[in-house]
Amino acid sequence: MAEVRERLEHAAKTDVAVMIRGETGTGKELVARAVHHSSPRSDKPFVKVHCATLPTEVLESELFGFERGARMGAIQHKPGKFEFANQGTLFLDEIGGMSSSLQSKLVVALQARGFSRLGGTQHLPFDVRVIAATSHDLEQALADGRFREDLYSLLNIVCITVPPLRDRRDDLPMLVEHLLRTYSVQYNRRCAGVSAEMMRLFMDYNWPGNVRELERFINRLVVSGSESTILSEITQQMEMASHRISAPQPAHPVPPATSLARAASPPRTSPAAAVEAGNYSLKDISRTAAREAERELILKMLQQTHWNRKETAEILGISYKALLYKIKENGLDKTV
């Protein structure tokens, strides 16, 4: 989070486009607002558009507006979000969910620094700082042709990655205290805090919903004044997650590792081979066994998810960045 803050502060001093990446619920919009409020545009509008929830036609009219008679029901002209955000910041949330056709129109608008409303011919210039956010794997979307490279280049000038809550568990006590204070004031209710049992459970939990999920739990705690249902829900989810990971039969058939995959992997020494070679260090042998087990598990999960790295990282309970590092470290990036 210190790195996030540093990048945020550097980005705020400039006027370039920013791409904020991270899982759902990590607080990407909060980072976007922090960039805006720390920038010279802080006294101008901050306008948000969620790109994944609206149909293409509706999203296009939301962004660019329309003229009277441009479509059925257009009895008068309507300004778009680019006009509302003029001299301020336009936040394009979940940009990875935007259709290809609208991506093309957005590229044209960003390059020309102007647009025409739907049904209009007048060129309307704009002065807008664009911040985009996504929980999608944009590199995979680029490879699949679902996201335009020119749009990616325009929006990804500065990239800020917000880590999932499970990768920053040390922040939990501070976040819990902050949320307790916030909701206690909001609902005018006193809350003594969380028990040691609940905090231990929080520290062990994988937080698939990230900070947003933590907010929901603390909100319920302040309102109800009881931990019992929350403890029960978290325990149940942890048991279900454990069962999914340890299930003997995967959801997809796992093909055997190919000889090419083994040949591409860097040479490794098994624990038995290490002993035969005269290495009797228990620490070294334990380390070797752990590395082999880690590699086998990562390869198995990658095959099970058909090499969907984002899904694999979620199953293994590690960050996407950590998985990429482990894939490279174990020579699996050369696997076919």
pLDDT in tens, 21-38: 999 999 999 999 999 999
Residues 6+ apart with CB under 8 A from 151: 103, 106, 107, 110
- Checking if the pLDDT of 322 tops 80, the result is no
* 55, 67, 93 from 115: Cα distances, Å: 20, 13, 20
Residue-level length of the chain: 336
Q: How far apart are the first and last CA of the chain?
A: 35
Rounded distance, CA 20 to CA 156, Å? 9
Rounded distance, CA 225 to CA 190, Å? 9
Domain boundaries, the chain: 2-163, 169-246, 259-334
pLDDT one-digit tens code per residue, 237-289: 888 877 665 555 555 444 444 433 443 344 455 555 555 555 555 556 666 77
CATH code, 169-246:
1.10.8.60
Q: What is the pLDDT of residue 279?
A: 55
Instruction: Evaluate if pTM is beyond 0.75.
Output: no
Tell me whether strands 114-115 and 124-125 are parallel, antiparallel or unpaired. Answer: antiparallel
Strand partners, 46: 89
Q: What is the pLDDT of residue 335?
A: 55
Domain spanning 259-334: which superfamily?
A: Homeodomain-like (1.10.10.60)
**Average pLDDT score over residue span 93-122:** 89
Cα Rg of the chain, angstroms: 25
Residues 6+ apart with CB under 8 A from 164: 22, 23, 26, 207, 210, 319
- Checking if the pLDDT of 72 tops 60, the result is no
Element (H, E) at 48: strand 46-50
Rounded distance, CA 255 to CA 241, Å? 23
Quickly name the fold that domain 2-163 has: Rossmann fold (3.40.50)
